[in-house]
Structure 1
Amino acid sequence: MADASVIGFLYQYKWHILAATLVAYVASTCVYRRFFHPLAKVPGPFLPAVTKLYQSYYNGRYYLEVEKLHQQYGPIVRITPDEVHLTDPANYEKINYVGTKYSKPPNYYNALCVPNSTFGTPPNDIHRIRRGALNPMFSRQKVLELEGIVQQKARKVCARMQAGVDKNEPVDLHHAFRAVSVDVISDFAFGECYNFLDKDDIGANFFAMARGIGPALWAFQQFPSLQSLALKTPPWMAPYLSTPLGYVTGMQMECVRQIEGVKANIEQGKSLGRQTIFTTLLDEENKPDAYQIPTTWQLKDEAYSVLVAAADTTGNAMTVAAFNVLNNPEIYQKLVAELEGAFPNPNAALPFVELEKLPYLTGVIKEGLRLSFGVIGRLPRVVPSPGATFNDHFLPAGTVVSMSSWMMHRDTSVFGPEPMKFEPARWTGPIEKVRRLDANMVPFGRGTRQCVGMPLAYAELYVTLGTLFRRFPRGLKVWNTTEETMRDYEDFFSSYHPHSRKDEWFRACMEKSGQRGAPEYG
């Protein structure tokens, strides 16, 4: 009888009991994470210590909140239940060095939907194998061999600029610079250039897809099981369920198409007369012993990774650099004077190896990289065994620790009281001073996990910007873009200017009173 009463009571109040159990579980979890967790003594507020929902609430603006937390709590702050963020530049070298034992946290990087790519590989041993197979196509030697591809894209940017000058219309450099990067990398990767610089929209639809992937990052990081379910959605259905999910699956299918095209060319004996990234990855010769030829579905992650990286980081650095040059007549004049002195013939091709010797142009490019930030938020890593001490706080093995270019590139102790000021001359001082600035520059990361595409990115930056400003030595100006909009970013791993209207993108035009006789460049 007693047993029946108990069962009856449990049945009658089952929802109350379930609710009470849930409340007790949440409360006990919060108490543990805040007061008894191994990171409990790391400074920081209550909410990020107990739930990742705090980070998700800020979405693409969390990097700004993290900065505020550092201003309140100091150089080490707990920003999620299992992650600590640091600001002391000396800590960057402790984490990111060649041969580092700090790996990538799977939960964070898997949310980028490229687990089989070199970039997205969490374990260091597997990363080493994949990186070894990829390195040859991104070496400086290979970039110099294929520099003609970059030169061709730079000429197309100038041709578009000239067409705008002739029609007295502004030119969309925001998308043109991104198109340079994607046209180059698609040629490098597949031997099939996307030719966005030849299209009317300069690839704007593609870039909207690449940008649209971003919001999925935070959702998938917060709910990993949701990602697993979402990525099983048929590609045709995905856009109807979620716009960002549609962009993710759309990009995946585009990458599968490209890989299958490369494989078909290999099987049919078609050759470009040169290696591409994916003919190299599909070639069994000259590979590490542990390397296995990936499947199409695995390789599509590599393609996805290089395309999205090209669409965002290098193009944005060119945008930031060009905007600030045109927005400051003194900088514009100094840059042109240097280019004219080095290259008297305005129509000659400007070799990368000669351009990189120019100190003021180098300053312009470094400021563009510094203030575009690359990955503006954070690059988290997992503390290896047996743990590590940062700023007098011991972090046990398995703790996620991170730093960000947003704070490294704006350190007032290094870059002065106005770190957001675009000042190329800061890079032309004594070598000791420049080295001190370089120590805080991490647009490509550092160490074993440094961006593999850095040599190619520098070639694109020098050749495109050098060529553009040599061809148009006067009269160009910013059109309908403000300094405030160019300093405003959203963090969807890559940094994006949060514009919504077409005319808010960075554009340039020729001043009506300026000289319109820039040399033709077809």
Structure 2
Amino acid sequence: MFLLIILLCGLCLWQLGQACYHLWLSPLSHIPGPKWAAISLLYEFYYEVICSGQYTREIENMHRIYGPIVRVNPYEVHIKDPDFCIEHFSPVKKLDKYGWWYRVFGGPWSTISTEDHHVHKTRRGTFQNFLAPRMVRGFVPTIVEKLKGASAIMDRHVRTGNVLNLSNVYRCMAADVVSAYVLPTSLNLLESDDLGEEFQSSLRFFFETATSMRYLGFMEPIITIIPSIIFNAMLTQPAKALIRLVRKLEACVDDVIQKGPDMDKSGLCLLERINNNEHEKDEMFRERLLQEAEQFIVAGSETTGHTLAVTTFYILQYKNVQEKLLQELINADIVFDGNLEITKLQALPYLSAVITEGLRFSHGVGSRLPRINKSSEVQYKQWRIPAGVPISMTSRLHHEDARLFPEPYKFSPDRWLQADSKNLKKYLSPFGHGSRICPGMHLAIYEINIAIAYIFTHYTVINFDTTEADLVSKHDLGAPFPKQDSKGLQVTLRARVTE
């Protein structure tokens, strides 16, 4: 008993010493912010884990109180200054990722989680060209094919008059598109009996678990020694669904590796391209391919599906927006087949403005993006930030900044048709900034353009009691998620009669 008291007293003294260091002796002690955040990660843990992805909102509140720079935990600084972030996150800057923050999203071997700038550049180089606009344009027929699969589902609801959860359709289509690009075979969720409900529950479980394990990583060794019979009994249905998804991806990776390099590069998926271009394969190569597959499919499904649902919702909320968009699309006379000219579609000014505004509202990445400059200190106004300190920004805080976007909560495509809109676009960052910008950006943009144009030219879409609360981000868990009991974008459909 006496020994236990000594240990507890020692732990308390150690924690007190840590608190004193972070408050008064740390190189970040001069950065403003709440004292509780400076002392311990428990402050962030409360908002991120207990409150499920609410720290972004708390950081926004910190900026209201303390100004444009705040200390969000003992080791990291957050800056809300769009012009500074554009300069600091410039593609020419050789910034590293903050390993503690990113390691949970796909593992340390995936490109998205690679910490070192130079290693990331090498890994990204094995597939960079495959995701360039020219290459993605060749994938447009597959996007149209998946959209026709979604259209078959919508046609059934036209005939029956039943309410359709369009959010589910969008996420299934997004998953089918990105998996067809990444894997030898698509996931084909549009053909699933549950319309991807299991897949979507597994994605949310993944993001929630990943967020928790960032702070509870010390529990991983404990989990590994739990007997499998007990561990399996503890698993929830979303957890089981996630395991089934991983097993499916493992089978695809093994198939790619066993097939070996293919000299005929036509028709290769992304994993096959990496397998062809990776010359120095070590014992972790299989794990890297698996993590790349997980990264692309998780990111490319949730964010694109969310953007499509949010954009559609706001088009339906504003009758004048819907009328102007439909008229432009009718006049353009786009033919949605394998010969669809994506450049012609993207050249439509009002469609482009609608989608740009949809990207601003949906935000892309929901949480903050920390980067580290290891080579030199960073000077922000009167604050000096030592080299090696993570500095983060959050796209949503810029997208909702009234100084940049007057009436930021009004869906206004016209703001992107003004004389200065080109300059305004530099503050839009749904795909991130700099050399770490989302590699699947062009695939997502093409898909969003095609889907929105197709749906509003082929159907009269009617909102069925869906509110903003069912779609706007409530939980920022890497990807933005609505409230837990959201029913998604519920609509009824009528076939649009074209003259």
Amino acid paired to 1:328: Y
Map 1:121-200 → 2, pairs under 5 A? 121-200=114-193
| Partner SS for 2:90 | coil
| Partner SS for 2:476 | strand
Question: Could you tell me how far 1:303 is from its partner in structure 2?
Answer: 0.5
Matching residue of 1:437: 424
Matching residue of 1:8: none
Structure 1 residue corresponding to 2:436, chosen from 449, 461, 465 = 449
| Partner SS for 1:312 | helix
> Once superposed, which parts of structure 1, at least 4 consecutive aligned residues long, lie more than 6 Å away?
231-237, 269-272, 289-293, 344-349
In 2, distance between residues paired with 1:234 and 1:351?
56
Matching residue of 1:382: 372
| Partner SS for 1:341 | helix
Structure 2 residue corresponding to 1:460, chosen from 432, 447, 452 = 447
Question: Could you tell me how far 1:218 is from its partner in structure 2?
Answer: 2.7
| Partner SS for 1:368 | helix
8 Å Cα contact 1:383-1:395 kept in structure 2: no
Closer, same or farther: CA 396–421 of 1 in aligned 2, 3 Å: same
Largest Rg, 1 or 2: 1
8 Å Cα contact 1:238-1:245 kept in structure 2: no
Q: Say if 2:79 is the partner of 1:92.
A: no
8 Å Cα contact 2:141-2:339 kept in structure 1: no
Map 1:12-27 → 2, pairs under 5 A? 13-27=2-16
Q: In percent, how many aligned pairs have the same letter?
A: 27
Structure 2 residue corresponding to 1:401, chosen from 391, 394, 397 = 391
The Cα offsets for residues 182-238 of structure 1, whole Å up to 9 and x where unpaired, read as 111211112211111222322121111011111222322213332455468788865
Question: Could you tell me how far 1:178 is from its partner in structure 2?
Answer: 1.2
Amino acid paired to 1:445: G
Amino acid paired to 1:206: F
8 Å Cα contact 1:265-1:271 kept in structure 2: no
In 2, distance between residues paired with 1:205 and 1:271?
36
| Partner SS for 2:113 | coil
Map 1:4-83 → 2, pairs under 5 A? 13-59=2-48, 60-83=53-76
| Partner SS for 1:114 | coil
Map 1:29-428 → 2, pairs under 5 A? 29-59=18-48, 60-227=53-220, 229-230=222-223, 238-241=231-234, 243=236, 249-266=243-260, 274-284=267-277, 295-343=285-333, 350-416=340-406, 418-428=407-417
Closer, same or farther: CA 479–351 of 1 in aligned 2, 3 Å: farther
**More deviation, 43-52/17-26:** 17-26
Q: Say if 2:488 is the partner of 1:505.
A: yes
Structure 2, unaligned runs of 5 or more: none
Amino acid paired to 1:399: V
In 1, distance between residues paired with 2:384 and 2:391?
12
Structure 2 residue corresponding to 1:486, chosen from 471, 486, 490 = 471
Question: Could you tell me how far 1:111 is from its partner in structure 2?
Answer: 2.1
The Cα offsets for residues 63-85 of structure 1, whole Å up to 9 and x where unpaired, read as 00000000000000001000111
8 Å Cα contact 1:44-1:79 kept in structure 2: yes
8 Å Cα contact 1:49-1:81 kept in structure 2: yes
Matching residue of 1:495: 480
In 2, distance between residues paired with 1:295 and 1:229?
26
Closer, same or farther: CA 98–209 of 1 in aligned 2, 3 Å: same
In 2, distance between residues paired with 1:101 and 1:452?
17
| Partner SS for 2:186 | coil
The Cα offsets for residues 282-305 of structure 1, whole Å up to 9 and x where unpaired, read as 114xx6x77769622221100000
| Partner SS for 1:444 | coil
Closer, same or farther: CA 219–274 of 1 in aligned 2, 3 Å: same
8 Å Cα contact 1:213-1:247 kept in structure 2: no
TM, length-normalised to structure 1? 0.88
**More deviation, 338-347/274-283:** 338-347
Amino acid paired to 1:256: E
In 2, distance between residues paired with 1:272 and 1:394?
50
In 1, distance between residues paired with 2:151 and 2:343?
20
Closer, same or farther: CA 469–233 of 1 in aligned 2, 3 Å: farther
**Paired residue total:** 493
In 2, distance between residues paired with 1:470 and 1:425?
21
Question: Could you tell me how far 1:112 is from its partner in structure 2?
Answer: 2.2
Question: Could you tell me how far 1:329 is from its partner in structure 2?
Answer: 1.6
| Partner SS for 1:43 | coil
Question: Could you tell me how far 1:262 is from its partner in structure 2?
Answer: 2.5
In 1, distance between residues paired with 2:227 and 2:450?
42
| Partner SS for 1:481 | coil
Question: Could you tell me how far 1:255 is from its partner in structure 2?
Answer: 2.0
Closer, same or farther: CA 296–325 of 1 in aligned 2, 3 Å: same
Task: Supply the RMSD in Å over aligned alpha carbons.
Answer: 2.5
Question: Could you tell me how far 1:443 is from its partner in structure 2?
Answer: 0.5
In 2, distance between residues paired with 1:123 and 1:98?
15
In 1, distance between residues paired with 2:191 and 2:253?
23
Closer, same or farther: CA 344–374 of 1 in aligned 2, 3 Å: closer
| Partner SS for 2:404 | helix
The Cα offsets for residues 416-438 of structure 1, whole Å up to 9 and x where unpaired, read as 1x2121111111111xx212321
Question: Could you tell me how far 1:471 is from its partner in structure 2?
Answer: 1.1
Closer, same or farther: CA 249–397 of 1 in aligned 2, 3 Å: farther
Closer, same or farther: CA 347–167 of 1 in aligned 2, 3 Å: farther
In 2, distance between residues paired with 1:42 and 1:326?
44
Closer, same or farther: CA 229–115 of 1 in aligned 2, 3 Å: farther
8 Å Cα contact 2:22-2:38 kept in structure 1: yes
Amino acid paired to 1:428: L
The Cα offsets for residues 126-154 of structure 1, whole Å up to 9 and x where unpaired, read as 10111000112211111111210001112
Question: Could you tell me how far 1:442 is from its partner in structure 2?
Answer: 0.4
| Partner SS for 1:401 | strand
| Partner SS for 1:39 | coil
8 Å Cα contact 2:473-2:480 kept in structure 1: no
In 1, distance between residues paired with 2:228 and 2:357?
40
Amino acid paired to 2:181: F
8 Å Cα contact 1:172-1:505 kept in structure 2: yes
| Partner SS for 2:491 | strand
Structure 1, unaligned runs of 5 or more: 1-11
